Amino acid sequence: MANKAPKPSVPPRPPKSPVIPLREDQTMRPIGPPEEILIGRVVWQWTRLENCMNELIMRFTGISFEDGRLFTERMDPSRAISLLRILGPRKLEAERLQILVDLLTTADQLRDDRNFIVHGVWAILDPEGVPTASSLRSKSEADQVVAESFPHSRMWEIIKAIDKTREDMGRLLRSVPWSATNESDH
């Protein structure tokens, strides 16, 4: 069993941008292929990160890949993150546990961006020419549509952050021997 170490610190979530209504001079037009490609890259990278989180759940629980797929194939990413937050302290010592907590915090923040990108209604905001995604968030007023700007530079930052999180989580995954995960449970 992992050593009983102090509980790792979880940084607070950054605040969301305030809701700003459209100005009278602003209009919306359809996005084009560059934005479609970036949206696809976010989806592709996120899928790879989700697969890594699912494999880490299987590794921590010692369940086979075939059986683990039964539990993880339709698992919501927020549930996977929650499970890993519970399993991590049971399976990892202090240093690797803090690495996991930091990765899960980053993944959870990226999940918010990913959800807005995937489920948002996309348009280019003119006259600025900025790609935006709009959403009818449950946390907004009933008559408000929340929009967030996603210029290409921000999309690339999100894509790179998802990929780095996946790479770092993959290194952590490879450091956890499959056979050692359930030694303390027998």
Tokens 């921000």 sit at which residue? 154
Let me know the angle formed at the C-alpha of 102 by 97 and 108, rounded to the nearest 5 degrees.
Answer: 125
Which pLDDT does position 146 carry in this prediction?
77
**How far is Cα 132 from Cα 31, in angstroms, rounded to an integer?**
9
Which pLDDT does position 80 carry in this prediction?
95
pLDDT in tens, 8-40: 777 777 766 666 677 889 888 999 999 999 999
**CB distance 125 to 26 below 8 Å:** yes
pLDDT in tens, 123-151: 999 999 999 998 866 465 656 667 889 99
**How far is Cα 102 from Cα 82, in angstroms, rounded to an integer?**
13
What are the residues facing 130 on neighbouring strands?
125
Mean pLDDT over 73-101 rounds to 92
Give the residue with greater pLDDT, 54 vs 5. Answer: 54
Any domain includes 24: no
pLDDT-based confidence at residue 179 (cuts at 50, 70, 90) = very low
Any domain includes 145: no
Tokens of 182: 């359930």
Which pLDDT does position 142 carry in this prediction?
58
Which pLDDT does position 17 carry in this prediction?
61
Any domain includes 136: no
**How far is Cα 15 from Cα 21, in angstroms, rounded to an integer?**
18
- Count of structural domains, the chain: 1
**How far is Cα 161 from Cα 58, in angstroms, rounded to an integer?**
24
Any domain includes 96: yes
pLDDT-based confidence at residue 74 (cuts at 50, 70, 90) = confident
Sheet strands side by side (includes 146-149):
27-29, 121-126, 130-135, 146-149
Any domain includes 14: no
Any domain includes 182: no
Helix, strand or coil, per DSSP, at residue 139: coil
Give the residue with greater pLDDT, 72 vs 179. Answer: 72
Give the 3-state secondary structure of 1-30.
CCCCCCCCCCCCCCCCCCCCCCCCCCEEEC
Any domain includes 2: no
Let me know the angle formed at the C-alpha of 91 by 170 and 179, rounded to the nearest 5 degrees.
Answer: 75
**CB distance 58 to 65 below 8 Å:** yes
Helix, strand or coil, per DSSP, at residue 97: helix
**CB distance 58 to 176 below 8 Å:** no
- Which domain does 70 fall in, by range? 35-119+153-176
Give the residue with greater pLDDT, 69 vs 2. Answer: 69
pLDDT in tens, 46-70: 999 999 999 999 999 988 888 888 8
Any domain includes 15: no
Give the residue with greater pLDDT, 148 vs 184. Answer: 148
